[in-house]
Amino acid sequence: MAQVTLYLPDKIASRLKLAARKSGQSVSAFVTALAERELVPGKWPASLERLYGEWEGDFIVGPDAPPDHVELP
């Protein structure tokens, strides 16, 4: 298992320790769980998943957009 040293601002380190304690995990296990959740290959970031279906309004189509229908020979 690899060992990593992180330098965090005091505020973040305190919040991290508190969150780990509340979850019943060590800081190491808590950070591992965060990394596993965020670093899944091929998975969209959670911030984009939250946006899914949120668009309201019309899409603007520029003048160089391809035609809606193309006749093939």
Q: What is the mean pLDDT of the chain?
A: 87
Residues 6+ apart with CB under 8 A from 29: 20
pLDDT mean over 1-23: 95
- Of 38, 37, 20, the C-alpha closest to 29 is 20
Residue 46 domain flag: yes
Residue 43 domain flag: yes
Total domains present in the chain: 1
pLDDT over 80 (residue 18): yes
Look at 40 and 33; give whichever has higher pLDDT. 33
Residue 72 domain flag: no
Residue 61 domain flag: no
What is the residue range of 30's domain?
10-50
Token digits for 4? 């990593």
pLDDT mean over 25-34: 95
